[in-house]
Structure 1
Amino acid sequence: MNKYDWLASESAPEGYPMKILYGTFLYPGEEEKGLYIPNLKLIYSGWGEPISTHVVGPDKKPLPDRIDITFYSYAEDQFYHGRFDLPYERIVQRFSEGYESNIEDQGKLGFRKITAGVAPGGHVAVWIIGPAKREEVLFEQAEPIEYDWEKFWRLSFGSGDIVPREEYRIDSLKASEAEIALEQAQNGTLPLDKWKRLRNQYPWEPRFYRLPEPSDRATIKYVNGEQYHLRPPYNTEEATAVQPMPKYLSFRAGSDLFLMHFDEDEMLEAFEAMADGDKRLYLDIAPYVPRTETQVRLRDEDDNIHTLEKFHVEELRKYD
């Protein structure tokens, strides 16, 4: 069995805090042995964004073929557990082959991290991660379970007085800037299917206007937690070219760098409203300086338009 140099990490959606109680990437042929997933931390940094890096054990170790994970969703006040098979052969192949760097003449880079993501509704995702690259290799749904509150508290905090469950939960939601999730929980409107919907792929491509179209590769992060690079030309019109919705896009228009952050809820609403089978969608981007003047819209083949308003373009200092 080949061994590779890799580390484990964890992830959770922004605005929906979670906590992993126990988690292990299990080695082939082992029932318990594997690399543990960092745990017992309140996590909410963004779907697919790795948080912790614990350097433990030998540098080189087997790649996992299963994941076992127990976690708590603060928004729902619900514990979950899941044990899932990973696509072992695919993971081995990707670690063995690596991928082309987005930097010209840099050659191939390698995957160095495997990250487990947990989200409301019991959703579990796993990504393999390298420099400027994230690929989803698993998406499953764990089962809700009962879990003793005192056991949870002692595991999380050790000794000391146990804070009542509802008081701790609400304080944690407020402390992690999850007021929207708290309001949704109180109103019974938590979007528990959201992370499944974020995985949908659509036949879309970016189109650039006003400033020169980027001539270099653009970095794109998707709402499903993946990260890739787009290579020009962007208007390929390939009928089979489908991809998830964008969460972040960085590119250069002429000499100006643009770092664009999209609102995933607005993006989800726009794509679901305008998608029509295999018909192409175009994300029209009109970058401008000052960057606050940048405009973005989603357009279909019939020139129906959904203007996006909740995106943000970072303002950069002149020497950037």
Structure 2
Amino acid sequence: MIKHFMKFFVIISIFWQLFSCEKIGTMHDNFPYSVTATSPTEYPTEVHLGFFTDAQNQLICGVPKTGMLQAGWQGDGAKGGQGGSVIPAHIDLTYVAYAEKKFYHLDADLPKEKILEAFRKGYLTQSNEIGEDGKKMMVPAHYDILTVGMAPGGMVVIWLSGNKSRVEICRLQAKETFVDKDKFMPNPDPNETQEEFFALGFKIAIPDSIKAEIEQKGIPFKLWDDYRIRYKYRFVVNAYDDKDKVTGVHNLQYSGEEDFITEISDAEKYREQGIPYNVTVEFTKYFVNIIFDDRETLSVFEELQKKHPGKPIDIVLKPTFMYKEIKVSVKCEQEEIPLTKYKVKSIAGG
């Protein structure tokens, strides 16, 4: 009788442990997030209909329908009150691309395991608490924004982002589709044709400089995939004197990914990443913000990789006296090419 009781007790205990683990795991995998949508500033789009579903094909939330999307490829866009806490497994999205005068439709599965892994792993972010070394402490954080980016050619990219941290989840391909403009417009003009709708959208949405570029060279469809090419590089930052030290490097990339590094030993490591969009370097007394020209940087990186295949690259930052100017060059082995089209957005005292 006692043996039977003990056997029953053990079975109940094992069942309870499994149940508890499953429950804890479920709670642990509950990561709330907002959903945003964005497009390159020069090539705006607008969502017609869009939604995420889970592995059981149950609706999670919509893709925000917040008007013309011009937040930029590195921006998160408007949230529009959409979000969830269930890991999305599928996306269905229809949108208009004004520069191309087309509607696109995307119906695709998402790498839900990769999304879950990114949520679980999280990242380190800077807090307001000061550590014993006098620096702001780095604390664990979880991503809380899921962004849908729409670029020319039907390119769709999904990112997860948080404070100074953004990681690409996947790149998807939408297909051209037909949507009656009367079903897209909230107050359609019955006398307006489909062609007139596209022509007006192109006129209003696309900057004049981009219109001229499209007329001369066409839309650079390959550009956003070029942004996603990963190069092995690091920033080599030379403080003007020994009194000033590097305390942080924030790298936002043209690919839309970003990271923030506080440990100098980590900042000196090479990383596989897209070309930089801008970099903010924090010193003990100063901080500087440099915006890179995408075409120039891509060209220099491509040239160096052809000449020095597989070799890592240094982006060298050399401040002048009182940080009045920053000289930037790209170096691979013994070859160093100065950049000329970057902009120093700000140099300020710390």
TM bin (shorter chain): 0.7 to 0.9
Distance across 1 between alignment mates of 2:234 and 2:248: 14
Distance across 1 between alignment mates of 2:296 and 2:115: 33
Task: Count residues with an aligned counterpart.
Answer: 309
Q: Could you tell me the percent identity over the aligned residues?
A: 22
Asked if the contact 1:170–1:182 (Cα under 8 Å) also holds between the matched residues in 2, the reply is: no
What residue is the counterpart of 1:51 in the other structure? 77
Give the partner amino acid of 1:80: Y
Q: Deviations over 1:247-278 (max 9, x none)?
A: 11111234011111112222222212222321
Q: Deviations over 1:255-307 (max 9, x none)?
A: 011111112222222212222321121111113466662111112213241x2
Distance across 2 between alignment mates of 1:177 and 1:81: 21
1:262 and 2:292 correspond: yes
Name the structure where helix makes up a greater proportion of residues: 2
Asked if the contact 2:47–2:96 (Cα under 8 Å) also holds between the matched residues in 1, the reply is: yes
Q: In 2 relative to 1, CA 217–252 (structure 1 residues): closer, same or farther, beyond 3 Å?
A: closer
After superposition, residues 139-288 of structure 1 pair within 5 angstroms as: 139-152=171-184, 154=185, 157-160=186-189, 169=198, 172-173=201-202, 175-176=204-205, 178-209=207-238, 211-212=240-241, 214-230=245-261, 231-233=263-265, 234-236=267-269, 241-276=271-306, 277-288=309-320
Post-superposition offset of 1:220: 0.8
TM-score by length of 2: 0.79
Asked if the contact 1:122–1:142 (Cα under 8 Å) also holds between the matched residues in 2, the reply is: yes
Counterpart among 136, 161, 164 of residue 132 in structure 1? 164
Alignment root-mean-square deviation, CA: 2.6
Q: Secondary structure at the match of 1:180?
A: helix
Asked if the contact 1:23–1:36 (Cα under 8 Å) also holds between the matched residues in 2, the reply is: yes
Distance across 2 between alignment mates of 1:40 and 1:220: 28
Q: Which runs of 5 or more residues in structure 1 are unaligned?
A: none
Counterpart among 85, 93, 107 of residue 69 in structure 1? 93
Q: In 2 relative to 1, CA 140–159 (structure 1 residues): closer, same or farther, beyond 3 Å?
A: closer
1:11 and 2:35 correspond: no
Distance across 1 between alignment mates of 2:218 and 2:164: 35
Post-superposition offset of 1:188: 4.7
What residue is the counterpart of 2:342 in the other structure? 311
Q: Secondary structure at the match of 1:196?
A: helix
TM-score by length of 1: 0.86
Distance across 2 between alignment mates of 1:120 and 1:309: 28
